[in-house]
Copies of this chain bind each other. A is one copy, B any other.
Amino acid sequence: MVKRYLQVQSLDDTLLLLSREFPNAPSVMTVPLENAAGRITASPIFAKYSVPEIHVSAMDGIAVVSAETRDASEQHPVTLSQAVRLNTGNVVPPGYDAVIMIEDVWEADGKYTIRKSASPWQHVRPAGEDLAESEMVMTSRHRIRPHETGGLGTYGITGIDVITVRIGLVPTGSELVAAGTRPKPGQVVESNTVMAKAMLEEAGATCTRYPFVEDVKEKIRDAIATAVRENDIVIVSAGSSAGTRDFTADVIGDLGVVLIHGIATKPGKPAIIGKVQGKPVFGLPGYPLSALTVLRELVLPFLRQYGLHVPEPVTIRAQVTSSLPKEVGSDEFVLCTLGNVGGRWVVSPQSKGAGVQMAAIRANSYLRLPRISEGYDAGDEVDARLMVPVEEVKNALIITGSHDPVLDYLADLIRPAGVSLLSTHIGSMGGILALRKNECHMAPTHLLADDGSYNTEYIRKYLPETSVDLLCIAERQQGVVSRDGISFANLPGRSFINRQKGSGTRMLLDHELKKAGIDPASIPGYEREVTTHIAVALAVKSGEADAGLCVYSAAKALGLPFVPVASERYELAFRKEHENDPRVRALIGAVRSPKFAAILGILGGYETRETGRIRPGNP
């Protein structure tokens, strides 16, 4: 096995190497006119004939000899000796040289009378007015817009040579199952080549997904060799890491040359670039977000050199809401939530876990932290790169705080109004602090004070000078989730899964433990924290813990017994200054809608007497 570069390369150097090593000769394929929109022309296109080929009428009217009309006027109507009725597009017969609109013609006894002269060639579309035979309709490297298919048809063009790049996608891994099959323990749904196909075909590539290949070196070698033979570029999914069955680099080395193994990006580091039969072979990391990063930052920019359609992302200058420290040496990419709060653009990093594919669905933007940077401090100005149209970012409603599944349903209810609700789950206290920094529109919160009241005490304390309102979502039940119906009093001695400090649920637990005189030390697992209700329920369901505290809907979703402990007021805090923001209005409308009431009823565990009520947060 030959390795030319043993060191991890920077992203920029890798892109340079790609353009140096590979010729970028795109493939050409012919598509029918009706599939041409969005494709990029491989060569200039010329009109097959003139349009129109012969003089035609531009109006519904009559063809006349202009000389005969010369003396017509209101005072002196002229009845024409020669005239032919024409519709728009009809050929102007030889000998005639003008058209008079039918509205300006009086007909009687088969004769036409006019009251105005016609100038020569008026309302006549001369031959070639639109385009002449052999003239260029469009250049090469032109991305055909949908409406242009009409013109192409008119000029006689029905098969269009367009640029493409044939890409073979080879999924490897004995653990893979196809989407639609529920994975058994240790199995994984193969999604990287599904995603790659959609992303690369949007750019104009022609992708072939090959059958899954087991982690057997010879089988991987055969699969890659076949894909190289049949394509311009090959992308092998996974097997690029340091596991016992990561054969991709070895196989590429056997078949050709490994140019790069390891790119200084996070995520995406284990990527491979090789050359087999003169063609580029990429090794994609297995983690979905790593694969996404390599596709977006490496493969797509490389395809741009082939002439495919890979637009640069639109950016918006925004302030980061939390610090993003990093070490010098790698380009880091962080999926984010971007929105405009009170006229200021704010961008919040999402989870960095490479396995959390939802982060790529929740994100509307991402950041590139440059290789030489040591990261950002909260409040730094950065360029957020958009993953959705600008219009959608402008209509993002940013919600930060305590999680509840009903937020997803509210997101669904306001979507038809064009508002995208983006929620970040960092607990009630996190939400209150985000509201104080004016980094979110609304903060879901259920913070219990010593006097048994909810939320107001915390808003008074943390936003004393700011006018804040509270919109009640519901009074919701929290309770003990378990596999065998454990009650609150029976928690001591049973293994527990807890919520993080600062979350309302944690506060409720501590409040109730104190009230009941239970010592937290008597509950094994009290120190183990997760950040959502559903994570608590899952830990219980998987047997990792015997019990936890969560909302009813989470227990119900996983089919687990639930013993109620207390009801709490789950509210959305928002600054009064935002009360007329159309996004906030849309959300208030959704909370008060009959549809939402029905959803709460179906989910269960919510008391709706207060739902939709707004009260002052710091009276």
- B residues near A292, Cβ cutoff 8 Å: 147, 150
Q: A250 within 8 Å of B by Cβ?
A: no
Q: A89 within 8 Å of B by Cβ?
A: yes
Q: A49 within 8 Å of B by Cβ?
A: yes
Q: A84 within 8 Å of B by Cβ?
A: no
What mask results when residues 326 to 358 of chain A are scored 1 for a CB within 8 Å of chain B, else 0? 000000000000000000000000000101111
In whole Å, how far is A43's beta carbon from the nearest beta carbon of chain B? Answer: 8
Interface residues on A, range: 35 or more
Contact B91 A186 (CB under 8 A): yes
Q: Complex: how many Å from CA A36 to CA B194?
A: 11
- B residues near A615, Cβ cutoff 8 Å: none
What mask results when residues 20 to 53 of chain A are scored 1 for a CB within 8 Å of chain B, else 0? 0000000000000110111000001000111111
Q: Complex: how many Å from CA A155 to CA B189?
A: 8
In whole Å, how far is A26's beta carbon from the nearest beta carbon of chain B? Answer: 11
Contact A355 B85 (CB under 8 A): no
Contact A147 B199 (CB under 8 A): yes
- B residues near A314, Cβ cutoff 8 Å: 390
Q: Complex: how many Å from CA A287 to CA B361?
A: 43
In whole Å, how far is A195's beta carbon from the nearest beta carbon of chain B? Answer: 3
Q: Contact partner of A288 among B38, B154, B243, CB < 8 A?
A: B154
- B residues near A180, Cβ cutoff 8 Å: 153, 156, 158
- B residues near A90, Cβ cutoff 8 Å: 186
What mask results when residues 279 to 312 of chain A are scored 1 for a CB within 8 Å of chain B, else 0? 0000000111001100110000000000100011
Contact B51 A357 (CB under 8 A): yes
Contact A150 B183 (CB under 8 A): no
Q: Complex: how many Å from CA A37 to CA B537?
A: 33
Q: Complex: how many Å from CA A391 to CA B538?
A: 47
Contact A142 B415 (CB under 8 A): yes
Q: Complex: how many Å from CA A219 to CA B557?
A: 57
Q: A388 within 8 Å of B by Cβ?
A: yes
Given the contacts A194-B153, A241-B60, A138 and B361 also touching, CB distance less than 8 Å: yes
Q: Contact partner of A558 among B121, B133, B286, CB < 8 A?
A: B133
Chain A residues 128 to 148 lying within 8 A of chain B, measured CB to CB, are: 128-142, 145-148
Q: A126 within 8 Å of B by Cβ?
A: yes
Closest to A157 in B: B179
- B residues near A457, Cβ cutoff 8 Å: none
- B residues near A179, Cβ cutoff 8 Å: 33, 152-154, 156-158
Q: Contact partner of A141 among B50, B128, B246, B415, CB < 8 A?
A: B415
Q: Which residues of A contact B (CB under 8 A)?
A: 33-34, 36-38, 44, 48-56, 58, 60, 85, 87-91, 102-103, 120-121, 125-142, 145-158, 175, 179-180, 182-183, 185-186, 188-192, 194-195, 197-199, 201-202, 241-246, 286-288, 291-292, 295-296, 307, 311-312, 314, 353, 355-358, 360-361, 387-391, 405, 408-409, 411-412, 415-416, 421, 528, 530, 534-535, 537-539, 541-542, 544, 557-558
**25 pairs across A/B with beta carbons < 8 Å?**
A34-B198, A38-B202, A44-B409, A48-B182, A49-B182, A54-B185, A55-B542, A56-B186, A89-B188, A89-B286, A103-B242, A125-B353, A127-B542, A128-B534, A128-B535, A129-B353, A132-B557, A136-B405, A137-B358, A148-B361, A150-B357, A151-B288, A152-B179, A154-B189, A158-B179
